[in-house]
Amino acid sequence: MNDLVVARHQVNYEQKAYWRNPMSAVFTFMFPVVFLLVVGTSAGNSTIPDSTLRYNQYLVVAMLVFGLIAACYTNLGIMLSIRRDSGVLKRMRGTPMSVGSYVGGIIGSVLINVMILTIMVVCIGMVGYDLHFPFHPLAVAVTLLVGVVTFSALGLAVTVLVPNAEAAPAIINGIYFPIVFISGVFYPIANNSVLSRIATWFPVRHMVNALVGAFETGSGSGLQVWDLCVMLLWAAGGLAFALTRFRWEPRRR
Amino acid sequence: MALDDDTVISVRGLTKSYGSFRALRGIDFELRRGHVLALLGPNGAGKTTTVEILEGFRKRDGGEVSVLGIDPSRRDRTLRSRVGIVLQECAVEPYLSVAEAITQRSYLYPDPRSTDEVIDLVGLEAKRDARIKTLSGGQQRRLDLGLALVGNPELIFLDEPTTGFDPTARRESWDLVRGLCAEGRTVVLTTHYMDEAQALADQVAVIAAGRVVATGTPDTIGGRDRGETTVRFVLPAGVGLGDLPLPNGLCPTVRCGAVEFSLPDATTLLHDLTGWAVTHGRPLDGLTVTRPSLEDVYLALTGEQADR
């Protein structure tokens, strides 16, 4: 059987399973939307430093990053931990399905979720906060794609660190939230502050920078090459870690 | 390893350790096409480790293993498409429907059964469009079995397939397994139910402490066919042992008013006893004639290991 055909079917089934269990959609879709509507309205029209965007417009982009990370890293980490514990992953390994088709199907489904999220969040921004349609749509698309690859790879990698499904949310969010805070997802952080220097080591800050850059007015392609390179470095590291250490079966008790 | 066409599984000198624990200490057996092999043994004896090595989930430390002529540790995809696996834990994405889960699986195989055929085979017609998480435990196990059969496998591994089934569902599953063998498929079964092994298996292998301690058919394993027959009945009131027509040298044991004889061949004794009972008009209450059951043999073979 053709791996691509199998992966395409897998996308289909992943989508069905995803939307039938709305809990996983809460962080990806509900949180950014509600946050935008509540905080965005009270954020006012002040502009933020080093940018042409107003604060509430910046928030639109930042919430897109938040949702993307929830859709990739958090969702994948928790879902794979549950599937590993319940034996779904082991069972998959007993069929002729290739790991590539399986993971490809999962990431394909995540890509669909991110596209829906992008349309939702950008529409809210354009209608509610005068956000201009991205000045560099191609750069936005490339940045989102690099984001999906990076945070999906990190979702696979964090699954290695999770001992069992019950511990998954605590470990996965415990890593994620501090980094999201210092990376300026909820409020802009000046580029030379201590927090931003720490955040520079992690991929979230670079994702925010790259996406903000693609939304801003300005000449050039809008691609923030340095930020994208750092993210891809994290993607490569995460993937290498996952490939060498991934467990398909629950830990023996 | 050279195999003739009829040998589906060949295992020689298989060893496996987890740390310092020697789970398998040299397992040997062979399985022929169209046969059902039941692996019996106490928990922790090495059944599941053996099966998981054959399934390709675990790597062996030593010995030779061939499944359908292929070494399963190579994780060959062709081999996986010819083998169906039912694991102990039931594991299916809970938010799909029964039909969706089966259809999803069917894309993976070159020559799959149709979804409706599989649903029919495992008797889940009424649950066709139900979400898997709404199924009962027994129904989920049946779906599990169905999923293993989607690819028309030549060889099927069933790890405790009927645990938690009601008696009717068990009988239906047995019929299903018999049907698979009639189609020329080969089955490896692990079970704790001796009646299941008795009903299904052509071959039985008892594993204890990482070794095969006995192999044979369910009727002959452990010298079961040569074991003594036990005749038991309640002594009629006012009748002494001396009143009965007993052969010389036969020592009965008397327990709670019941007499018990163990002897290699009970034909003559039964003839004499029942003749006496009819002549004297004194029925022999609770008369039973038993041979060692598979369970008796199993318990004797596994000894104190069974307590683990």
Domains in chain A: boundaries: 3-245
Q: Does domain B7-223 have CATH number 1.10.1370.30?
A: no
Specify the pLDDT at position A233. Answer: 97
Q: How distant is the Cα of A172 from the closest Cα of chain B, in angstroms? A: 22
- Integer CA distances (angstroms), A82 to A164, B252, B260, in order: 8, 61, 56
Q: Select the residue of B89, B96, B109 nearest A96 (Cβ to Cβ).
A: B109
Residues of chain A with pLDDT under 50: 253
Specify the pLDDT at position A1. Answer: 52
Count of A–B CB contacts within 8 Å? 64
B105 touches chain A (CB under 8 A): yes
Specify the pLDDT at position B307. Answer: 45
Q: How distant is the Cα of B67 from the closest Cα of chain A, in angstroms? A: 14
Specify the pLDDT at position B60. Answer: 94
pTM here?
Answer: 0.85
Specify the pLDDT at position B2. Answer: 47
Do the chains contact at A9 and B104, CB–CB below 8 Å?
yes
Give the CA count within 13 Å in the CB-facing half-sphere of A76: 31
DSSP state of A183: T
- List the domain boundaries for chain B: 7-223, 228-290
Q: Chain B contacts of A21, Cβ < 8 Å?
A: 95
Residues of chain B with pLDDT under 50: 1-2, 304-308
Rounded Cα distance between B233 and B87, Å, is: 45
8 A C-beta contact, residue B176 and residue B129:
no
Do the chains contact at B108 and A95, CB–CB below 8 Å?
yes
8 A C-beta contact, residue B233 and residue B66:
no
Q: Chain B contacts of A5, Cβ < 8 Å?
A: 107
Q: Chain A contacts of B51, Cβ < 8 Å?
A: none
Specify the pLDDT at position B4. Answer: 59
Provide residues of A within 8 Å CB-CB of chain B.
1, 5-6, 9-10, 13, 16-17, 20-21, 83, 86-88, 90-91, 93-98, 249
Q: Chain A contacts of B96, Cβ < 8 Å?
A: 13, 16-17
3-state secondary structure chain B: CCCCCCEEEEEEEEEEEECCEEEEEEEEEEEECCCEEEEECCCCCCHHHHHHHHHCCCCCCEEEEEECCECHHHCCHHHHHHEEEECCCCCCCCCCEHHHHHHHHHCCCCCCCCHHHHHHHCCCHHHCCCEHHHCCHHHHHHHHHHHHHCCCCCEEEEECCCCCCCHHHHHHHHHHHHHHHHCCCEEEEECCCHHHHHHHCCEEEEEECCEEEEEECCCCHHHHHHCCEEEEEECCCCCCHHHCCCCCCCCCEEECCEEEEEECCCHHHHHHHHHHHHHHCCCCEEEEEECCCHHHHHHHHHHHHHHC
Q: Chain B contacts of A91, Cβ < 8 Å?
A: 85, 87, 91-92
How many CB atoms neighbour CB B274 within 10 A?
A: 14
Specify the pLDDT at position A82. Answer: 93
